[in-house]
Chains A and B, each alone.
Chain A
Amino acid sequence: MTLACCRSPFAGPWVTAWLMTETRAFHPLCSVLSTAERDRILHRFGLGSRAEAAFKVLEQRRPVLLIAATERRSLGDILGEPCAAVVEVGHDGLVESVGGDWVVAPDADCGLVLSLTTASAYRLSCAPLLCEALERRGAMLSGRRAAIEACLQEAIANALMHGNLGIAKVPDGSIGSYQAFSRLVLERLQEQRRRMRRLEILAHWDDSRLEIAIADEGDGFDAARVRRSLDEVDPHSHSGRGFPMMRTLADALDVRDGGRCTLLRFLACP
C-alpha cells in the first residue's frame, strides 16, 4: 500500500487517499464541490434538498471504494463491503480518469453508488449483483426483488446501449439486420471514448421505499416519444418494451437530464 495524491472525482482540488492494488479506500472532500456542481448533481438525480446534509455525512461514515477493472465475482464481493460507493477508475488505473461527472450517496447508511465504465458494466451483468448488495444491506423490499431487478436491468440496458454506446434502435427486421446490430455493438465497445463513458447507479432507501437512479453519459433522448404502456407495443415488435415494462413494474418512473437519467421508485408492499 502506498500513499498517493489523486484528484477528487468532483474535479476540484487534489485530495489525499490511500491507494491499494485492487481496492482503494477513498474519501472525497465534500467541501470541494462548487454550489453549481452540487445543484447540478442534485437536479440530475432528483434528490432535492434532503440530500444536502448527506454530502457531509458521507466522508465521515463509510468509504468510497475505488476499484480497478474487475471480474463479476469480485464486484459482487466489493459491493458487499460496508461502503457508500464503488467507483471503477478505468483500465489505465489512473484515478484521474474518474472524471468530474460523478455523484455521492445521499446517506451513507441508506445509500449506495456504483460507477462503472461502459466496458465493465456491459461485461458484468450488474443488475443482479446490485440486487444482491441491496438485499445484504436490508434495502430490498419484501416481495419486490423480481420487479426491481427487471426494472434495473432495463434501465441499465438502455443507458449502455442507447446512451453510452449511442445505438439508436434495435433492428426490427431479419436475423441479418440483427447480426449487423450485433457487429455495431461490438465495434462501439472498442471505441475508447464510448467504452470509458460511465454508467452510474445511485440507490437510496428507507423502511417504506427504495429509489434507484441510473445515469449515462450519452446524448439523451426525448422521453415524450417513448411508448408509455405495453398495450402500445406491437406484439410482433422485437424492441421497445423496456420503458413500458419499467412503468408497469415500478411504482414511479421519471426521466431527467434530457434522457440521461432514469429514476425508479419502489414502495413497500402494504
Chain B
Amino acid sequence: MEFESLKTADTIEARLRGRLEFTDHDRLREIVALLDNVKVRRFVVDISGLEFIDSAGLGMILILQEEAEQKSIQMIVRGPRDSVRRSIDLAKIGEIVTVED
C-alpha cells in the first residue's frame, strides 16, 4: 500500500492506493502520525485507489478510527469500490466508521 496526504484548513486527507493487507502493519504508524500536532476537525481516508483489502487491513481502518476519536477528530472513509466495498460491507465496518461513496 502507498499513500499520500493533503491538508486543508480543517481537514487532513490520506489517499491510499494499491492493496491494504496484513504486511502493511508497519505503514499504519505513518498514517496515524498525520494526526500528530494538527488542529483539524476531519480526517478523510480516501480509499478509492485501493484495489484490495483483507481483514487485517479492515482492522487497521478501525485503529485509525480510534486514534482519530481520541483526538476528537471525525474520520470519514471515502470511496470504497468493488471488492473493497464488499469486504467493508461483509465485516459491517460501516456500523463503526462513517463510510461515504
Contacts and interface: CB of A to CB of B under 8 A. Distances in A.
A82 interface: no
B4 interface: no
B6 interface: no
Contacts of A123: 23
A18 interface: no
B55 A182 contact: no
B54 A182 contact: no
B38 interface: no
Interface string A85-112: 0000000000000000000000000000
B101 interface: no
Interface string A228-239: 001001011111
Give the size category of B's interface with A: 20 to 34
Contacts of B28: 175, 178, 182
B21 A239 contact: no
A236 B92 contact: no
A153 interface: yes
Interface string B49-79: 0001011101110110011000000000000
Contact of B62 (A236, A245, A249): A236
Contact of A239 (B19, B56, B87): B56
B90 to A, nearest CB: 6
B21 A157 contact: yes
Interface in B29-44: 29, 32
Contacts of A186: 26
A235 B99 CA distance: 15
A125 B21 contact: yes
A235 B56 contact: no
Interface string B80-101: 0011001100111101100000
B26 A157 contact: no
Interface in A108-125: 122-123, 125
Contact of A157 (B29, B56, B67): B56
A248 B90 CA distance: 9
A154 interface: yes
Contacts of A174: 66
A270 to B, nearest CB: 20
A245 B91 contact: yes
B55 A175 contact: no
A186 B23 CA distance: 10
A89 to B, nearest CB: 23
Given A125-B23, A241-B55, 7 more contacts: A157-B56, A174-B66, A178-B29, A230-B92, A233-B91, A235-B93, A236-B96
12 contacts: A122-B23, A146-B86, A153-B21, A154-B55, A178-B29, A179-B29, A230-B91, A235-B95, A236-B96, A238-B59, A239-B55, A248-B90
